[in-house]
Amino acid sequence: MQQHFWKRWSSEYLSLLQERSKWRVETSNIKVGRIVLLKEDNVPPLRWQLGCIQEVIPGGDGVIRVAMVRTATGLIKRAVAKLAVLPIDSEIVGTLPLPTRGVCSEQIASA
């Protein structure tokens, strides 16, 4: 039952978080300070790392293509297509115990 739940959650809910708007409506670029899941192809969803966007790297057209993500193990450079932005209010991020060593909460509090 747990495997069925995680399979549906990762294929249905997370795909909505990563939905491409290329053919629909243009959306805003990913922003520094957002909390994301780092999607891994050969790792179960329970093992996906949680991270915080530290820096964004735009492509030649001005659209963000790559982001530097702070995780519990350090900084990772990752394509935006492999990130799932979590729908979390920036106001409550400072009160959440995140495994990112508090880097995002400090940045949001100072903003």
- At 79, is the pLDDT very low, low, confident or very high (cuts 50, 70, 90)? very high
Residue 102, pLDDT > 60, answer no
Cβ neighbours of 108 (radius 10 Å): 17
Looking at residue 20, its pLDDT comes to 57
- At 68, is the pLDDT very low, low, confident or very high (cuts 50, 70, 90)? very high
Residue 11, pLDDT > 70, answer yes
Strands across the sheet with 74-79, in order?
74-79, 64-71, 49-58, 35-38, 83-85
Residue 55, pLDDT > 90, answer yes
Looking at residue 13, its pLDDT comes to 74
Instruction: From the options 2.40.70, 2.30.30, 2.40.340, 2.60.40, give the CATH code of 2-20+28-110.
Output: 2.30.30
Q: Does the predicted model carry a pTM greater than 0.85?
A: no
- φ/ψ of residue 70, rounded to 5: -85, 125
To the nearest whole percent, how much of the chain has pLDDT over 90?
18
Cα of first residue to Cα of last residue in the chain, in angstroms, is 43
The closest of 14, 57, 49 to 32, measured between CA atoms, is: 57
